[in-house]
Amino acid sequence: MLDDLAPIWQGIPTLTKLFILAALLFAYFTVKNIFRVRGVPGPKLYALTKWRLAYDDWTGTRTRTIDQLHKRYGPAIRIGPNELSFNSLTALKTIYGAGSGFERTTFYRMFDVYGHQNLFTYAGVKEHAERKKLLNHAYSKSSILKASASAVEKKVWEYMKLLETAPEVASETFSSLHYYSLDNITHFLYGDEFGATAALTGSVADRNMLNDVLDPSRRKLAWFAAHLPRYTKWLMSRTGFAERLVAGLGLLPMKKPTTYTGIRKHALAAWETFFAASSDIKVASNATTIIGRLWENHTSQKANGLLDMEIASEAADHLLAGVDTTSDTLMFLFWALSLPENLHFQKKLIAEVAAMPESDFNDQGVPTADATGKLTYLDAVIKETLRLYAPLPASEPRSLPVDTTIDGYKISANTVVSMSPYSLHRNTEVFRDPLVFNPDRWFGEAKEVVEMKKWFWAFSSGGRMCIGLHLAMAEMMTLTAAIYRVYRTKVRAGTENTSPGITSRFEVFYDVSKPYMKEHECWIDFEKQL
């Protein structure tokens, strides 16, 4: 039969042959994709091509679309030829639980700094565990309360002074809370000697570092970095005439300087300042700074230790991670408590803070981090803010190098699987009226509260759980208690129906119950209590 077909094939023009071969290859991979993961429901187009989900990324609707697909198809859905999304406690434990073996995907490599991987971007469990071991103690709750609490309290005092001396600056809380979180994380990482910022006290240069994150085109750059990584790396590394050419042709996803350029420049300068310091000063800083802790494991101190740029990359990554997350959460917290419909929650918080004894405050009148950590209603307010307005609400992709089973589905090796706080926190069977801000839900029936806590995933879980959890909580609880000891807050008149919006990867997240949204802006009026 093949002999009979040979003359026919030979008579076909070369271009037509190429077209036929391309069509056969496309059909082969299409069929292969369809049967790669069998039985998992979802729209057929998502199973056929990864570019369907990439389109959702481009339009900034990925996370909300996946959430709607879960509501339509159930807790397991197929969102790509080689990608699945889950929304169940059993899947959460299987994928993200301690010892699961699941690794981070190449998606995270876009967060490498200075060409080096770091704690956030390591894929392998072993590599991640080894790096985390160097930092665990410094980020522990006991260490934060012992070594860093006074620094956090100082930044709280500076924010309170900003409210008094420059109320209009403080009232635009998206910016002012970024100043607060920036000053906290830089002091924690580098100390006053090497790279601590002074945005709260008026440093224009430090405040300008945040301009990098305000450009909406950062979402476009993130899309290119995720879906066309090699092309993007080549494109954005052009210089001279080549750079002017691609820029002139409109090919650059984002104009330079790009996202976090200023912050990365500051982090590199901080490392260079530290590296130039004397050995005695470097050694002395190991108990008070992250960069000093990392220096203990430098190649000059330990065989097979960290290289210069590995330390710089690690510290810079913590700086990037420690700014938006804390500030965005605090902004939504103040905004939610300041809405007319939520003022009764604010009154409960004010009452709790007012009942704190004088011994819970330092000499500057700021509540101590240790004392605020014990306030139960404040804890509920923060937990509810993180539930509804998680600063990193999108999916966290993972893969396993061997075949496995998740929720009864057989999953081939290297299939990408993910879950998201956005969907977990909006499960209507767990959270009553999930789109409503209600801190009181955390004081409900014991059985329901236990179940909600199981589904609460703002800081991830397992070995990859957010290492900065305790520092972030100290920053948020101390500042919130300090403010509501002195002030009542209201949203700026005329903005009652406008939600603030935050950028996360390719998307803008906001309160969907409000008809309007303003990205990177949130005005709150602070009125002193009588």
Number of helices (H) and strands (E), helices first, in the chain?
26, 12
At residue 426, φ and ψ (nearest 5 deg) are -120, 20
- For helices 218-227 and 51-59, the axis angle rounded to 10 degrees is 170
Residue 140: CB atoms within 10 Å:
15
CA distance 138 to 151: 14
364: number of Cβ within 10 Å:
12
**Predicted local distance difference test score (pLDDT) of residue 2:** 46
* Cα 74 from Cα 72, distance rounded (Å): 6
Q: Answer for the pair 526, 489: CB distance below 8 angstroms, yes or no.
A: yes
For the chain, how big is the Rg over CA atoms in Å? 25
Residue 212 confidence (pLDDT): 82
DSSP string, 42-80: --HHHHH-THHHHHHHHHT-HHHHHHHHHHHH-SEEEEE
Closest CA relative to residue 528, chosen from 475, 472, 473, 490: 490
Which pLDDT score is estimated for 8?
65
Question: What is the spatial distance between Cα 231 and Cα 229, in angstroms, rounded to a whole number?
Answer: 6
**Contact between residue 188 and residue 475 where contact means Cβ atoms under 8 Å apart:** no
- Quick one: pLDDT at residue 31? 53
pTM of the predicted protein model? 0.92
Per-residue pLDDT of the chain (530 residues; tens, 9 = 90+): 545 656 665 667 777 757 766 666 655 555 555 555 778 999 999 999 999 999 999 999 999 999 999 999 999 999 999 999 999 999 999 999 999 999 999 999 999 999 999 999 999 999 999 999 999 999 999 999 998 999 999 999 999 999 999 999 999 999 999 999 999 999 999 999 999 999 999 999 999 999 888 889 999 999 999 999 999 999 999 999 999 999 998 999 998 889 889 999 999 999 999 999 999 999 999 889 999 999 999 999 998 899 999 999 999 999 999 999 999 999 999 999 999 999 999 999 999 999 999 999 999 999 999 999 999 999 999 999 999 999 999 999 999 999 999 999 999 999 999 999 999 999 999 999 999 999 999 999 999 999 999 999 999 999 999 999 999 999 999 999 999 999 999 999 999 999 999 999 999 999 999 999 999 999 999 999 98
Rounded to whole angstroms, how far apart are CA atoms 303 and 293?
Answer: 16
Q: Are 529 and 486 in contact (CB under 8 A)?
A: yes
Structure tokens belonging to residue 222: 């993130």
Spell 210-242 as b/e; 16+ CB within 10 A means b. Answer: bebbebeebbebbbbbbbeeeebeebbeeeeee
The CA-based dihedral angle spanning residues 203, 206, 211, 212, taken in that order and rounded to the nearest 10 degrees:
170
Helix, strand or coil, per DSSP, at residue 389: coil
State yes or no: 522 annotated in a binding site.
Answer: no
Distance CA 63, CA 61 (A): 6
Structure tokens at 282: 């470097």
